[in-house]
Structures are given as structure tokens and as C-alpha cells.
Copies of this chain bind each other. A is one copy, B any other.
């Protein structure tokens, strides 16, 4: 191996979280190296958020158009699936990352392509695809941002069944005739929405009692109802016991508990995520391999004052935007510590990702969209808050009815009765994905209910649901 090359900061993993660390540490004038074994841009850019939204947007736009008198007649036919897939390919850069590399170059950071592993304290070893080795040493910080990979349960027959994960589901170049989806969370719900609209006959097999289990129960119910109305089969409370696939191109079957067998052309296993920490040298610094990396409230690993973990891999939140948020904050932390300036780690301070626990937003691009921020009713009650859940049927909002004939949606806000602020908000309905940011500002801003009365929704928008929620709370 060559001499160690020294940087202020070395980042392992070039997804959105890693890229934001690079951005912030470079802005602070710290020399920074980024190590990436696949594509700079990460899962989000190539096999998750971006291609999934490119597949979903046409489905949602068609659903919206079908609810508009005077336009509905024109959009009863199928989507042009080839055009949608080609557009999705465009958005992934055909799975090439030159644009991201150019950006990294432009801010003066250095990219090492290859597999990176911790190599003792403050050191990272990189093995390039060509077999070259580099040792990088970090004056101030090594940041692990290696993210997650899909987990496929070890079912009988699964090995030979070549199941899809989120990667194949977002990058497939044609619509399967029949798509079986095992799982009930966001990946399952979104990919069911997309592929059913793109021509597949989708069957969703969820083990839990409903879809979208991290959200208020009505979110999964409304999404399941709509998937069924779109022609998909949605079954909850079912357990897949085995998978069967004969040959290389034939159909695939799943065997349910009880023996029922369902056949499809492809099988998507949307069954969770695991940290990509198996082979990144954690053992060389005394940390267990293959596990989530615990961090403190500055995203630093306790006991290792030079080691940070941001994004999925620290298991605080498995969402791109929140990994970026952590990275912005951890980048500022690293820069402050390097400069010897004090940190503000009080709640909502500049150096701690308070929103991870208190104002976490998520948007699910199903039809209807489901979006939420902060705590659900159950979470708030478990946390010991004295709360009231305030519900409103969004179809009764004039702006909703004018937006879509037969608008279906529901809103809930969780009021902290002691402080009269919002702990959480959920919107389910067309348009919810963009509507949730208002709630994110209200929750993160801890804007008192009394002041929210002065935040007047424009008439006639769907956002007038805010007024209805306040009126319902007032009683």
C-alpha cells in the first residue's frame, strides 16, 4: 500500500447524506475525500426516491386528471409505459453518475471510486475496481454514510426465485404482467401504485394489519382502498412461507401460510432494510460489523471522537431528506469542532438534528398521497403527552372538492394540550405531499395554536383544511 493521503475529512459513501457532508465540510474550508463503491448520488438517485417518483408522477397525474370534469374522458386509457420508463431512465442519468462527479469536482473535493473500509483510528483503506489501494487519513473526522440495502427474508425457495428488491422495482425496463409484492410499507405501496398504473396486475401481500404501518392507521386504509379501486389486489395479515420459481424465465409463485399459492411474473420483496456495515472495517476500531451505528445527538459515535455516522446507517431515520439534514448538521459540527468554536446542541440548536425525533416529515407518493410529520396519536400517547387528536374529512373542504370531483382524504392533527402546539399532522389525499410542509413548519416551529388562527389559508385551496382543523379543535 502507498503512503496515506491526508484529508481533514473522509466520507465513506456518496449518497445524499455523504454528499451533504462533503458540501458542508468543503464550505468550511476543510479538505474532504469521498469514497463510493457504486454510483455517487446513492440509492436515492438511482434506485429509490428519484426513479420511483418518475414512475409515480404519471400515475398520480392521470389519477388527478380522471377526477376533473371536462378532462376525465381524455385520460381513461393506459399510460404510455415506454415513455414513462424512458423518462425514468433520463432522471437516473441512465445509471451513470458523471453529473454528480462533476459537482464534487467543482467544490474541490476528491472522489475515490472503490470499496472503502475503516483501517484503524482516523484511517480509511480504499480498494478501487482496478485493484489499486489507497490509505486515506483524516485529521478531523471520518463519516460513515453507507446507507442501507434491502433485506430479503430467508424463505424456502427464495434463493432461486430471483426476487426483485426496491432496486429492480425502480429500474425495471418493462412492466411485468403480474407483479406480486410482499410487504406493506412505503416501497410496497408506492411500487404497487406505479406498476398497476403502468400495466401490471399487482397483488400486495402485507403481513401487518394494514399498509403504511408507520403512519396513522387511516393512511394505509385509504391507500389500500384506492389501490383496490385501481384494480390491484391488496391483502393484509398474510404471511408468505415459501417461494417457488422453476427455470430462468418462468413465473414465480408464493406459498402463503395455510397453503394457498399465488402466481406472478415477478416478485418484489419489500421487506425492510439493513445497514451496509458488514464490510467497512468497523471491527478495526472495535465496533460490530453488520449493525446499525449508534450515534449521539451530534451524529458522532460515542467513544470515537473522530467518527460520525449520518443517514440511514445510524438508524435514526431512513429517509433521504432526513439524512441530508443530519449531514448538514454533522458537517457544521465537524467544522465547528475543527475550528474550536462552541456547539449549540440545545433542542433545535444548529448542531443537533432535533427534527429527527420531533418534526420528522414523510411524503408517500401513492394515490391518494399520504404525508405526515411528527408524532402519530399512538406515538404521542406512548411518549406520555397529554394530547387530543383532531380529525377532519378533507372531502368537505371546498378547495378539495373543486380540485377533484369525488375527492377522498382525511386530515389529523395531534395537539399537545399542555403547550397548545402541534406534535404531529397527517394529511392523506391528492396534494398531500406538498401540503405537509406547512405542518412541518408548524411542528418544528412550535407555532402556538392561537397564532395558527392568524395563518389564513387561501380560498379555495385544499389547505383550508387547516381552518377546519382549528375550528374542530375549538369546538
Chain A residues at the B interface, C-beta cutoff of 8 Å: 16, 44, 49-50, 53-54, 57-58, 61-62, 64-65, 68-71, 73-75, 77, 79-81, 83-84, 86-87, 91, 319-322, 324-325, 328, 348, 350, 354-355, 359-363, 371, 398-399, 401-403, 405, 431, 433-438, 440-445, 447, 450-464, 466
Assess whether A321 is in contact with B464, with CB atoms less than 8 Å apart: yes
Contacts of A79 in B (CB 8 A): 70-71
Q: Can you list 19 A-B pairs, Cβ within 8 angstroms, ordered by A?
A: A53-B460, A58-B70, A61-B68, A62-B71, A64-B64, A70-B80, A70-B81, A87-B405, A319-B459, A325-B456, A348-B454, A431-B434, A434-B435, A434-B462, A437-B457, A437-B461, A437-B466, A438-B441, A443-B455
Report A118 CB to chain B, min CB distance, Å.
Answer: 28
Contacts of A466 in B (CB 8 A): 437
Bound together, the chains give a CA A322 to CA B457 distance in angstroms of 9
Bound together, the chains give a CA A455 to CA B256 distance in angstroms of 43
Contacts of A350 in B (CB 8 A): 450, 453
Bound together, the chains give a CA A434 to CA B402 distance in angstroms of 13
Assess whether A87 is in contact with B71, with CB atoms less than 8 Å apart: no
Interface of A, helix, strand, loop or mixed by DSSP = helix
Contacts of A458 in B (CB 8 A): 319, 321, 361-363, 371, 433, 436-437, 440
- A73-B80, A360-B456, A371-B458 provided; 18 other pairs, C-beta below 8 A? A49-B460, A57-B402, A64-B64, A70-B87, A319-B458, A321-B456, A321-B459, A321-B464, A324-B459, A350-B453, A355-B456, A359-B456, A361-B456, A362-B458, A433-B461, A436-B461, A437-B466, A441-B445
Residue in chain B with minimal CB distance to A398: B50
Report A441 CB to chain B, min CB distance, Å.
Answer: 4
Report A464 CB to chain B, min CB distance, Å.
Answer: 7
| Central interface residue in A54, A359, A438, by most chain B CB within 10 Å | A438
Assess whether A455 is in contact with B463, with CB atoms less than 8 Å apart: no
Contacts of A405 in B (CB 8 A): 87
Contacts of A398 in B (CB 8 A): 50
Bound together, the chains give a CA A320 to CA B458 distance in angstroms of 8
Bound together, the chains give a CA A366 to CA B77 distance in angstroms of 27
Bound together, the chains give a CA A62 to CA B67 distance in angstroms of 11
Report A445 CB to chain B, min CB distance, Å.
Answer: 4
Report A393 CB to chain B, min CB distance, Å.
Answer: 17
Count of chain copies: 2
Contacts of A322 in B (CB 8 A): 456
Do A463 and B447 form a contact, CB below 8 Å, given A57-B402, A73-B80?
Answer: no
Assess whether A452 is in contact with B457, with CB atoms less than 8 Å apart: no
Residue in chain B with minimal CB distance to A431: B434
Contacts of A49 in B (CB 8 A): 459-460
Assess whether B447 is in contact with A445, with CB atoms less than 8 Å apart: yes
Assess whether A86 is in contact with B69, with CB atoms less than 8 Å apart: yes
Report A215 CB to chain B, min CB distance, Å.
Answer: 13
Do A442 and B440 form a contact, CB below 8 Å, given A322-B456, A463-B434?
Answer: no
Assess whether A57 is in contact with B53, with CB atoms less than 8 Å apart: no
Bound together, the chains give a CA A122 to CA B361 distance in angstroms of 52
Q: Which 9 A-B pairs have the closest CB atoms?
A: A70-B84, A445-B447, A69-B87, A363-B458, A437-B463, A321-B459, A438-B438, A444-B455, A58-B70
Contacts of A44 in B (CB 8 A): 459
Contacts of A457 in B (CB 8 A): 321, 361, 437, 440
Contact of A459 among B84, B320, B431, B459 (CB under 8 A): B320
Assess whether B459 is in contact with A437, with CB atoms less than 8 Å apart: no
Contacts of A65 in B (CB 8 A): 61-62, 64-65, 71, 75
Assess whether A348 is in contact with B434, with CB atoms less than 8 Å apart: no
Contacts of A441 in B (CB 8 A): 438, 441-442, 445, 447, 452, 455
Bound together, the chains give a CA A459 to CA B323 distance in angstroms of 11
Report A306 CB to chain B, min CB distance, Å.
Answer: 25
Report A353 CB to chain B, min CB distance, Å.
Answer: 8
Bound together, the chains give a CA A16 to CA B467 distance in angstroms of 14
Bound together, the chains give a CA A445 to CA B403 distance in angstroms of 27
Bound together, the chains give a CA A199 to CA B50 distance in angstroms of 37
Report A92 CB to chain B, min CB distance, Å.
Answer: 11
Bound together, the chains give a CA A91 to CA B84 distance in angstroms of 35
| Central interface residue in A321, A452, A462, by most chain B CB within 10 Å | A321
Assess whether A456 is in contact with B440, with CB atoms less than 8 Å apart: yes
Contacts of A360 in B (CB 8 A): 456
